[in-house]
Structure 1
Amino acid sequence: MKLSMPTFYRDQWEWLPPVVRADLSNQTVVVIGANTGIGLEASIHFATMKPKRLIIACRSEGKGKEAVQEITKRTGYGSTELWLIDLSSFASVKAFADRFEREGGPLDILVMNAAVLPVKYEKSEDGWENALQVNNLSTSLLSLLLLPRMAEAGKKSGKASRLAIVSSDVHYWATIPSAVQEAAEPLKLLGSEEYCTATPQSIRPRYFETKLLNVLFTRALSDHLRPLPTVPVTPVAINPAYCWSQLRRDLKLDWGTWAFEWALARPSEHGARQLVFGALGNRDKEGMMRGAFVSKGTTQEVADWVLSDEGVRMQERIWEETIEILKEVDGRVDGIVKEYTMA
């Protein structure tokens, strides 16, 4: 599928179905990146369904506490838990996973919503370009580290747990540069300071690239997971659409951009509906949902390049490199991949 600008404009104004609802009284829900925007609105939707546990996670304790208060104020649900995580730090991601191993129990729904939109090159404490680490490597790391708890929940409940990874429709406009495709280690080149600072424009497509990588990881994980119901976990990639968001807070917006946002950006709650659909929708079509790309309350075909021979080859190469990188970050990844996925 291709996404033209006229289609993008139409999609922004198209009617959306109401939020999907379910009984969550026996389920644990975790939302990463939940203190503002679509993550907060999704958490509010989940809270109205009275989950057994609702854990929201973000970097800032102060902003997280404000989010908890907002959830309670708007829903009456008073059991939201705040856990801290910083996806720009592998140590923080590992600490979150360690805590969940001790205190979390079975995990029914994991929403990976945290992301950054870079305006300049920044290096994480682990040496990676920051957006690549936050949006992709740490997102993949936490997804894998919590996979055993999701599989446990699926076996206990008799229905697959959902892993909802927030991507975007901008993946339709993203490309993997030929130099990266030809590199022995594409991700290491993509995340290197030399590559990211080669020209003043080198970092500009980074957000689009990371959202394409989200789609590739979701599809690769789905392809490699042992089949349902052996491993009862369903990864889904989500397009929340273009919404009002704190994601663009570091951009210098001119009047034209403000007018574009005013005319086209959806309310954050509209985007949140897509996160909830990814977590709860199409329960009678679980096999179809595995690896699906969700947009406007339904599944949608991904970009043509993703489905091309070149895209399929690149998806597998990036999967293999991602696993090798994350095995060095946390030794548990190797055992999890061996137990829950197929070669």
Structure 2
Amino acid sequence: MQLSFWDFVKNQFATPEPVVKVDLTGKTVVVLGANTGLGFEATKHFATMNPGRLILACRSQSKGQAAVEKLKAATGYATAELWIIDLADFASVKQFADKLEQDGGRLDILVENAAVGLFTYEGTKDGWDASLQVNCLSTSLVALLLLPIMVKTAKEHSTLPRIVVVSSEVHYWYTFEKGLSEDPEILKTLGSAEYCTPKKMEERYILTKLLNVLFVRALNARLAPTTPLIVDAVNPGYCYSELRRGLSGIRAVVDYLMELVLAFSTERGSRQLVWAALAHQDHPEKLRGAYISASKVEEVSDFVLSREGGKVQDRIWDEMLDILGKVDPRVTATVNQYLSPTA
């Protein structure tokens, strides 16, 4: 499938679906990037469904605490928890996973919404481009570290947990250049300062959203059909977002005008995150490895479906496991215990 600009415009004018409502009594929901934008709006929806625990995973203590108070005022949900996680720091991700593991509780829904929209290279303390580390590497690391807890939850409570990775329809608009797709270390190249020229960084966000789709498909392909876990990717649509707050010049002007004409409200976009986390309660298998947009399963890009895309997906998966396995050996243990070595 390809997505033209006019397809994109048409999607923006589609009739919005109502938010999915499910009783979450006793269940634990974690939302990454929950203090603002799509994450906060999704958290508000979850709060109205009586979750046993609702964890707002945020980078900033002050902004996160403000979000907890705002959530209480808006919904009456008074027991939301603030946990700190900085996806630009692998050590912080590991500490977050440690805390959840030591907590010993259940985990039913993980919404991986945190992301950055940068147009210039910013190096992290771990030696990666910040966009790549936050949007892809750490997002994948969180999922792999928490996967055992979610499988354990499924077995102990006879439920079917879900991991929701927030991607985007912009993934249709990126194709790997030949030299990059044949690079023996694709991620290492993408994360290097030398590769991240201003021109390359113009497409960095689009690339990371494609990488999110590839991760979900690769992970799902390696989960046995009997594994009690649903992993999917979701497109919230083009909506008002703080992701683009770093835009400047003509790019900022164009985006401002596009928002006036085309953008959804952030709340409407958040309904897609909730749909991916809760829809099809009677037939959840429909969402295994799915790409979700406009409250339905959609076909991914032609590149993802192509033979070349499949090869790139597998190579990136193998490289990612090598990288993340060195960050935390629990990644390797998770892969060995829960995933098939072949797709």
Secondary structure of the 1:310 match is helix
* Cα distance change, pair 203–330 in 1 and its aligned pair in 2 (3 A): same
Contact kept? 2:119, 2:204, Cα under 8 Å: no
Alpha-carbon deviations, 1:132-154, whole Å to 9, x = none?
00000000001000001111111
**Residue 249 in structure 1 maps to residue 240 in structure 2:** no
Secondary structure of the 1:283 match is coil
Inter-partner Cα distance in structure 1 for 2:330 and 2:252: 46
Superposed, 1:30-45 pairs within 5 Å as 30-45=30-45
Secondary structure of the 1:119 match is coil
Alpha-carbon deviations, 1:55-95, whole Å to 9, x = none?
00111111111111111111111010000110000000000
Inter-partner Cα distance in structure 1 for 2:254 and 2:160: 45
Q: CA deviation at 1:226?
A: 2.2
Q: CA deviation at 1:255?
A: 3.6
**Residue 16 in structure 1 maps to residue 16 in structure 2:** yes
Inter-partner Cα distance in structure 1 for 2:276 and 2:252: 34
Aligned residue in 1 for 2:256: 258
Q: CA deviation at 1:254?
A: 4.2
**Residue 46 in structure 1 maps to residue 46 in structure 2:** yes
Q: CA deviation at 1:26?
A: 1.3
Q: CA deviation at 1:283?
A: 2.0
Q: CA deviation at 1:159?
A: 2.8
Secondary structure of the 1:195 match is coil
**Residue 238 in structure 1 maps to residue 263 in structure 2:** no
Aligned residue in 2 for 1:71: 71
- CA RMSD, Structure 1 to Structure 2 (Å): 1.0
Which amino acid counterpart does residue 164 of structure 1 have in structure 2?
V
Instruction: Give the gaps of 5 or more residues in structure 1.
Output: none
Which amino acid counterpart does residue 146 of structure 2 have in structure 1?
L
Inter-partner Cα distance in structure 2 for 1:94 and 1:22: 31
Inter-partner Cα distance in structure 1 for 2:53 and 2:120: 38
Secondary structure of the 1:188 match is helix
Alpha-carbon deviations, 1:23-58, whole Å to 9, x = none?
101100000001111100000000000100000011
Which amino acid counterpart does residue 36 of structure 2 have in structure 1?
T
Secondary structure of the 1:193 match is coil
Inter-partner Cα distance in structure 2 for 1:116 and 1:178: 26
Alpha-carbon deviations, 1:79-129, whole Å to 9, x = none?
100001100000000000001111151110000000001121111110011
Superposed, 1:47-196 pairs within 5 Å as 47-103=47-103, 105-196=105-196
TM-score by length of 2: 0.97
**Residue 315 in structure 1 maps to residue 313 in structure 2:** yes
Secondary structure of the 2:111 match is strand
- Number of residue pairs matched by the alignment: 339
Q: CA deviation at 1:286?
A: 2.1
Inter-partner Cα distance in structure 2 for 1:89 and 1:254: 29
Inter-partner Cα distance in structure 1 for 2:187 and 2:19: 36
Secondary structure of the 1:171 match is helix
Inter-partner Cα distance in structure 1 for 2:300 and 2:5: 16
Alpha-carbon deviations, 1:142-172, whole Å to 9, x = none?
1000001111111223231000000000000
* Cα distance change, pair 104–61 in 1 and its aligned pair in 2 (3 A): farther
Inter-partner Cα distance in structure 2 for 1:333 and 1:210: 21
Secondary structure of the 1:236 match is strand
Which amino acid counterpart does residue 299 of structure 2 have in structure 1?
E
Inter-partner Cα distance in structure 2 for 1:193 and 1:337: 30
Secondary structure of the 1:314 match is helix
Contact kept? 2:12, 2:264, Cα under 8 Å: yes
Q: CA deviation at 1:175?
A: 1.5
TM-score by length of 1: 0.97
Superposed, 1:270-309 pairs within 5 Å as 270-309=268-307
Which amino acid counterpart does residue 215 of structure 1 have in structure 2?
V
Inter-partner Cα distance in structure 2 for 1:155 and 1:300: 30
Secondary structure of the 1:326 match is helix
Identity across the alignment (%)? 51
Which amino acid counterpart does residue 232 of structure 1 have in structure 2?
P
* Cα distance change, pair 104–63 in 1 and its aligned pair in 2 (3 A): farther
Secondary structure of the 1:294 match is strand
